[in-house]
């Protein structure tokens, strides 16, 4: 089970989804007023950062699988 294991990637994604669901449904429900708003904004920022890290490190495609933005013929 190495770094490129597809099953591990999806398990880690599931754990993150469960954690976010717990925070959103259980923890934020106990807060009121400004604390709820600030916690909701903090959760949003954390989710954006996690999604960027996932795209960059976890679900990264190999370099040869990426399509170039400019065809090689146009670069000459």
Contact present, 15 and 49 (Cβ < 8 Å): no
Q: What is the 8-class DSSP label of residue 4?
A: T
| Residue 73 belongs to some domain of the structure | no
Q: Supply φ then ψ for residue 6, to 5 degrees.
A: -65, -40
Give yes or no for residue 2 having a pLDDT over 60.
Answer: no
pLDDT of amino acid 29: 85
pTM: 0.58
Give yes or no for residue 76 having a pLDDT over 90.
Answer: no
| Residue 53 belongs to some domain of the structure | yes
pLDDT of amino acid 27: 84
| Residue 22 belongs to some domain of the structure | yes
Cα–Cα distance for residue pair 52/14, rounded to 1 Å: 16
| Residue 1 belongs to some domain of the structure | no
Domain total in the chain = 1
| Residue 54 belongs to some domain of the structure | yes
| Residue 49 belongs to some domain of the structure | yes
| Residue 71 belongs to some domain of the structure | no
| Residue 68 belongs to some domain of the structure | no
**Token couple for 51:** 């999604």
Q: What is the pLDDT of residues 30-63, one digit of tens each?
A: 889 999 899 889 989 988 998 888 777 766 666 6
Q: What is the pLDDT of residues 65-74, one digit of tens each?
A: 556 566 666 6
Structural domain including 44 reads 6-61
């Amino acid at each position: 089970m190495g770094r490129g294991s597809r099953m591990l990637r999806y398990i880690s994604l599931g754990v993150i989804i469960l954690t976010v669901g717990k925070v959103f449904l259980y923890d934020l429900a106990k807060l009121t007023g400004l604390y709820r708003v600030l916690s909701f904004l903090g959760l949003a920022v954390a989710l954006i950062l996690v999604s960027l890290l996932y795209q960059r490190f976890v679900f990264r495609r190999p370099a040869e699988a990426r399509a170039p933005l400019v065809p090689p013929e146009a670069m000459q």
